[in-house]
Amino acid sequence: MFNIKFIKSINSIKDLHKEKKPEVILCGRSNVGKSSFINSLSLKKNIAKTSSTPGKTRMLNYYLVEEKLFFVDLPGFGYAKAPKTEIQNWQKLIEAYLFTPQNIILAFHFVDSRHKPTDLDLRLNKMLKELTIPYIVILSKADKLKQSEKYKIKKEVIKIFPELDFEKEIILYSSVKGIGHKIIETNLSKLLK
């Protein structure tokens, strides 16, 4: 467990956080479990607001981890019920953030383990590669899968992202059951040193 605290939300690139610390970005489709992930790693619950309604994260949210690095939670993409102009604004904000020189050291790309990566996931992956941001795919909501389904989704993901290490860079994760927590904690502890 880590000491994580919410710092601020921004909806404009001019408000980017000025404090220079390493940043780990949390990215993926709407309602994929990024807020639950933050809460599951935190000493206190409900640091990040969770919702069953997709598209609740509409700004860049900064969280300070152990006073040493930031989680930057990006708005979830692919939620069609938000107004088109709002979706475009999120997209611009995400791209402006990613293409503005930052201290990004890693991306956690969240994919719902019950579904194959979508075209939007592939586009996000392409962007991370273009920006040479190292990334780990987190297959969230793994508690909802049978054992055979867990292996199957990992195999499908490695076909789509063959450059990833099957064990170290594709992680089944459940905020509810604790699946994958040890691997994430080990990775984060290395980054915090």
Please list the residues that pair with 110 across neighbouring strands. Answer: 28, 138
Kindly give the residue spans of alpha helices, DSSP state H, lying in 17-109.
34-41, 84-99
Query: Which has more pLDDT, 133 or 78?
Result: 133
CB burial class (10 A; 0-12, 13-18, 19+) of residue 19? exposed
Q: Using the predicted structure, report yes or no on whether residue 13 has a pLDDT greater than 60.
A: yes
pLDDT score recorded for residue 54: 46
Domain ranges, ordered by start, for the chain: 4-13+27-192
Instruction: Tell me what the pLDDT averaged over the chain comes to.
Output: 88
Q: Using the predicted structure, report yes or no on whether residue 1 has a pLDDT greater than 50.
A: yes
pLDDT score recorded for residue 92: 81
pLDDT digits (tens, 9 = 90+) for 131-161: 999 999 999 999 999 999 998 998 899 999 9
pLDDT score recorded for residue 111: 95
Does the domain formed by 4-13+27-192 have CATH 3.40.50.300? yes
Q: Using the predicted structure, report yes or no on whether residue 107 has a pLDDT greater than 70.
A: yes
Query: Which has more pLDDT, 53 or 182?
Result: 182
Q: Using the predicted structure, report yes or no on whether residue 26 has a pLDDT greater than 50.
A: yes
pLDDT score recorded for residue 55: 46
Give me the mean pLDDT over the 51-77 stretch: 80
Q: How confident is the model at residue 170 (pLDDT cuts 50, 70, 90)?
A: very high
HSE-CB of 122 using CA atoms within 13 angstroms:
9
Please list the residues that pair with 107 across neighbouring strands. Answer: 25, 135
Query: Which has more pLDDT, 49 or 152?
Result: 152
Q: Using the predicted structure, report yes or no on whether residue 57 has a pLDDT greater than 80.
A: no
